[in-house]
Amino acid sequence: MANPDLAKLESIAREGRAQIIRMLTHAGSGHPGGSLSAIDILTTLFFNRMRYDPQRPHWEDRDRFVLSKGHCVPAQYYCMAKAGYFPMDRLITLRKLGSPLQGHPDRVMLPGIEAATGSLGQGLSVAVGMALGQKLAGRNARVYCVVGDGEIQEGQIWESLMSAPKLGAPDHHVDNLCVILDYNGIQLDNFVKKILDLEPVTDKLKAFGWPVLEVNGHDIAQVDKALDQAEATKGAPTFIVAHTVKGKGVSFMENDPEWHGKSPKPEEAVRAIQEIVGSPAPGWVALIVAEIAALGKK
């Protein structure tokens, strides 16, 4: 979108990082690394791109967001709370009994979640179907899907990557679909390169018929510009390879496979939040730090 308010978006993303740490610390489990690598992308989508109305989560003409890498849903829960789907207080119910903030996204329990994901490889196919569905219905709405780099090792991803550029031709091309790869280079067991290297991933995607854009996934201006280009592309869906850093924003988590799926201890969380927000810290920080400190004393 023209002239994004970068300072505002960066501030939302910074708060998101702190809230992700807060949520995971309260939950005592979860996936910080990939949530932190994806938050700038999600911030750009939720606060400078997608059309939606938290008061009407089932509004037919809304743009849709599918987090195919469902384990990083804390980043999405933060964006949804910030956007007004539910109160921020509820974030700390993540993974607790009875909470709609399930460990992986639940479409039925939490209005605003578009598809259950978490079994990797499936969300992209569902997003492709949604994009086709909106075209068939004549709705001018877009579908955004974030996939993980480890995730695209799944065969089902490549089924949909093969079919989407041609699907719906000649009248209903799914050019309303934009897929974003959160390419942080780390999966659960180790670095992606050591488990099953994706390279040359851009060449593979191009060979499958996708227009491919590459951006720094932490540079909101770059991400936003690529989303503009995707929206302007007609006749085919667009794929954005977003180069990211796993654990981005927390020095001791960055680029370390250990932080794929481990929640911080309270003292680590306080350190992480202080590092994220810097000084002087905004007013809300003291409260969440106190809450976390109290957890440590339990």
Partner 1 sequence: MAAKASRAAFGEALIELGAKDERIVTLDADLSKSTMTGGFAKKYPGRAFNLGIAESGMIGVAAGLALTGHVPFACSFACFLTGRFETIRVSVAYSDAPVKLVGTHVGVAIGEDGYTQMGLEDIACLRALPNIPIVQPADEHETRQAVAYAVEHPGPIYLRLTRQNLEPVHDAAYRFQFGKADVLRPGHDVTVLATGGPVWNTLEAAKKLAAEGIQAEVVNVATIKPLDEVAILRSAGRTGHVMTVEDHSIHGGLGSAVAELLGEVMPTPMKRVGVTTFGESGDLKGLYAKHGLDPDGIAGAVRKLLAR
Query: What is the binding site for partner 1 (CB under 8 A)?
Result: 60, 106-108, 114-119, 121-134, 136-137, 139, 155-156, 159-160, 162-163, 167-168, 171-172
Q: How far is the CB of 134 from partner 1 (least distance, A)?
A: 6
Given the complex with partner 1, which of 43 and 125 has the nearer CB atom?
125
Q: How far is the CB of 167 from partner 1 (least distance, A)?
A: 7
Query: Is 213 within 8 Å of 226 (Cβ atoms)?
Result: yes
Q: How far is the CB of 223 from partner 1 (least distance, A)?
A: 24
Q: How far is the CB of 279 from partner 1 (least distance, A)?
A: 44
Given the complex with partner 1, which of 19 and 176 has the nearer CB atom?
176
Quick one: angle between helices 6-27 and 32-48, nearest 10?
140
Q: How far apart are CA 292 and CA 254, in angstroms?
A: 21
Given the complex with partner 1, which of 159 and 228 has the nearer CB atom?
159
Given the complex with partner 1, which of 40 and 175 has the nearer CB atom?
175
Given the complex with partner 1, which of 87 and 170 has the nearer CB atom?
170
